[in-house]
Amino acid sequence: MLEWNCQNDKGGLTMSIIGQRIKWLREQKQWSQLQLAEKLGIHNTVLSRIESGEKKGVDFHLISKVADLFEVSTDFLHGRTEELSWQRGSVRETPATFLDVDGLSEDELIEVKRHIEFLKWKALQEKNEDPS
């Protein structure tokens, strides 16, 4: 099992948490930036800018692709948890009481979970932008 252990501020360059974690995950697979960029359907210069922290505001859909590819949660990529693994079936096992998930496929349950994660992320962004 992988264990998250990434040093911040290598060589005086402070990377974003998302960039750090994407780079760390990529290096665990021993993939080049070009290889990962191809898997994500983006240009390798975009990936380089994300990993270095130069690119701010990484698209939620790209974060979801990264999470799916490496089988980690978007919460891990955002730095809200140190937990690497997540259970794909966890939505069905412990759904919120107001969610009726009967009849949904595993893929649909994952999409519901992603949407909830996006709403949490969006609320956090709005909270951080609110000066009051």
Q: pLDDT by residue (tens digit) across 106-129?
A: 888 888 888 888 888 888 888 777
Query: What does the block give as tokens for 33?
Result: 């930036």
Is residue 97 situated within a structural domain? no
* Tens-digit pLDDT profile for residues 14-31: 468 999 999 999 999 999
For tokens 């009967």, what's the residue?
A: 102
Is residue 37 situated within a structural domain? yes
Q: How far apart are CA 118 and CA 76, in angstroms?
A: 13
Is residue 93 situated within a structural domain? no
Q: What is the number of domains present in the chain? A: 1
Is residue 22 situated within a structural domain? yes
Is residue 2 situated within a structural domain? no
Task: List the CATH number of the domain containing 69.
Answer: 1.10.260.40
Is residue 51 situated within a structural domain? yes
Please give the residue range of the domain that contains residue 29. Answer: 17-78
